[in-house]
């Protein structure tokens, strides 16, 4: 069973700090990696996608991918209380597979 | 530019009834995916469809569940003879092609009493 692992949290950070969210995956053939944000009772919202090793920045968000270590992370700079949500890591397996395999999510709490 | 639309947003069914969940993908998207989120659990893939074709149904329970995406109209996830364990949030996602990101709809929250 191919798995995506995340620490369930909660991860608590003060407003303005950097929040670091981590994810590991088991399938070495995985090609595409995504971070979704899900507020309680709402649907997942795509924040970032990353396909190659290294960093990808978009505003306050930076995704980092290390395929050799099978590790993907999301950094949120200048965290705001509105960032408080559950962050889901999702992995798409190798070519030919289109389903997303999700981790159980990390709950982030940003305190004012 | 409307996003993915799902209806109904909330559905209550008694045990043994049928549930029909509908999903209209974003404009220009022809690939539809259904996921289920059980209480306190992660999102699990159920089925991937293109117009008139089921591409991957590896996550669908073998019995009582079916899905379709007709040439005209929304994609339908059908659950026959619902049981309490079917109570969950059912999300539909769409993408313009198989290699693109998936965007989720608001979900249908099914409660079986």
Tens of pLDDT along B27-50?
999 999 999 999 878 899 999 999
**Which tokens in the block code for residue B44?**
């699990």
**For testing the chain B interface, which of A32, A43, A56 should be mutated: the one with the most B CBs within 10 Å?**
A43
Residue B23 near residue A64, CB atoms below 8 Å: no
> What is the number of helices (H) and of strands (E) in chain B?
0, 11
**Nearest residue of chain A to residue B103 (CA atoms):** A46
Collapsed DSSP state (helix, strand, coil) of residue A81: helix
Predicted local confidence at residue A74, as pLDDT: 98
pLDDT, tens digit, 9 for 90 and up, residues A67-97: 999 999 999 999 999 999 999 999 997 666 7
Which residue from A minimizes the CA distance to B58?
A: A99
Contact A44 B105 (CB under 8 A): no
Which residues are within 8 A (CB) of A59 and not within 5 positions of it... i.e. 6 or more apart?
Answer: none
Residues of chain B neighbouring A90 (CB-CB closer than 8 A) = 43
Quote the pLDDT of residue B39.
80
CB A91 within 8 A of CB A4: yes
Name the closest residue on chain B to residue A44, using Cα atoms. B104
Q: Work out the mean pLDDT of chain A and round it to a whole number.
A: 94
| pLDDT tens per residue, range B52-71 | 999 999 999 999 999 999 99
> Per residue in B51-71, is it b (16+ CB within 10 Å) or e — as a string?
eeeeebbebbeeeebebebee
């Amino acid at each position: 069973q191919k798995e995506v692992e995340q620490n369930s949290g909660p991860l608590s950070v003060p407003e303005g700090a950097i929040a670091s969210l981590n994810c590991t995956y088991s399938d070495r053939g995985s090609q595409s990696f995504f971070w979704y944000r899900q507020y309680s009772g709402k649907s997942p919202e795509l924040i970032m996608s990353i396909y190659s090793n290294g960093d990808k920045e978009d505003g306050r968000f930076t995704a980092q991918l290390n395929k050799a270590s099978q590790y993907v992370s999301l950094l949120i700079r200048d965290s705001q209380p509105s960032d408080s949500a559950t962050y889901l890591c999702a992995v798409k397996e190798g070519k030919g597979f289109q389903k997303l395999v999700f981790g159980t999510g990390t709950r982030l709490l940003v305190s004012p | 530019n409307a996003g993915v639309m799902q209806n109904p947003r909330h559905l209550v069914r008694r045990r043994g009834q049928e549930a029909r969940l509908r999903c209209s993908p974003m404009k220009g998207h022809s690939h539809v995916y259904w996921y289920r989120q059980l209480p306190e659990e992660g999102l699990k893939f159920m089925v991937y469809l293109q117009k008139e074709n089921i591409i991957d149904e590896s996550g669908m329970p073998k019995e009582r569940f079916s899905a379709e995406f007709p040439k005209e109209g929304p994609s339908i996830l059908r659950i026959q003879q619902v049981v309490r364990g079917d109570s969950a949030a059912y999300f539909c996602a769409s993408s313009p092609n198989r290699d693109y990101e998936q965007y989720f709809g608001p979900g249908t929250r099914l409660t079986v009493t």
